[in-house]
Amino acid sequence: MKVIVDPEKCLGCGVCEADCPDVFQLGDDAIAKVLLDPVPDKYRDDVMQAVEDCPEEAISVQD
């Protein structure tokens, strides 16, 4: 699956990184980065939790 963070919406709150640190990391600019492309299915549940928890709805998933 492909995971995308919209840098225009991301506030750098770090919720995604807390939910799934193997996939998300805050960059030096305090914007979340996706570390894996494609993201393995074993992370699907954690990524979907990050999507749900993101206060700015900055994360999207494409299968």
Contact of 25 with 38, CB cutoff 8 Å: no
Structure tokens at 20: 């799934």
Of the chain, the end-to-end C-alpha distance in Å amounts to 4
Q: What pLDDT is attached to residue 8?
A: 97
Q: In which domain, by residue range, is 58 found? A: 2-62
Domain count, the chain: 1
What is the SS3 assignment for 47?
Answer: helix
Q: Which two tokens stand for residue 34?
A: 């996706």
- What CATH number corresponds to the domain at position 49? 3.30.70.20
- 13-48, pLDDT tens digit by residue? 999 999 999 999 999 999 999 999 999 999 999 999
**Cβ partners under 8 Å of residue 29, min gap 6:** 12
| pTM exceeding the 0.85 threshold for the entire prediction | yes
Residue 20: per-residue pLDDT: 98
Q: From CA 23, how far away is CA 41, in angstroms rounded?
A: 11
